[in-house]
Amino acid sequence: MLVDYPDTLSRLETALGRHFADSPTILNVPGVSVALKVDPFYYLALRPAFFELLGKWAAVPPARVEETLSRTGNLVLGPGRVRYDKPLAVFEEGSAAVLKIPADFVPAEWIDRAVVMYGNEPAPLPVSGLRLVDDSQRQALAGHFAGMTQLAALAFGTPAKR
């Protein structure tokens, strides 16, 4: 069976934007959202929640969501077309609590287009308060983003001291 990736991508984009219009906390709220903008170029999408919910909203199986996003360039894949396989250490600005979460990176352009076109937002969303812990994972992520726009420095930080 041939998969119509452009059609599926359009359904996903429409569903994401419309669901955002009904429930804006699905994006950019640390501790609540399934995807958070970590710099002007990328959202961090919680795995598997982002793909499961997006699939539910668009009536597309989660595996098809992942396949569609990866085949259309809307899921960041590293060298060898692989996902980042280590949990990411993250924290909310001003907080000392660090969480390790499985996540993927999605180009901001795709999510921002969905919220502007179908989510009634006048402009792309701002960068959230979620940061990646600035330690050895910065180098590993730089390798994952080889040949692409790297994560901006503002995506990284140091948690507050306890």
pTM over 0.85: yes
β-partners of residue 63 are none
Coil/strand/helix, residue 38: strand
- 60-98 pLDDT per residue, tens: 999 999 999 999 999 999 999 999 999 999 999 999 999
If you ran DSSP here, which 8-state letter would residue 145 be given?
T
Strand order across the beta sheet in which 35-39 lies: 35-39, 42-46, 103-107
Q: Measure the CA–CA gap between 66 and 64, rounded to whole angstroms.
A: 5
User: How many angstroms separate the CA atoms of 92 and 158, rounded?
Assistant: 10
pLDDT for the residue 3 = 83
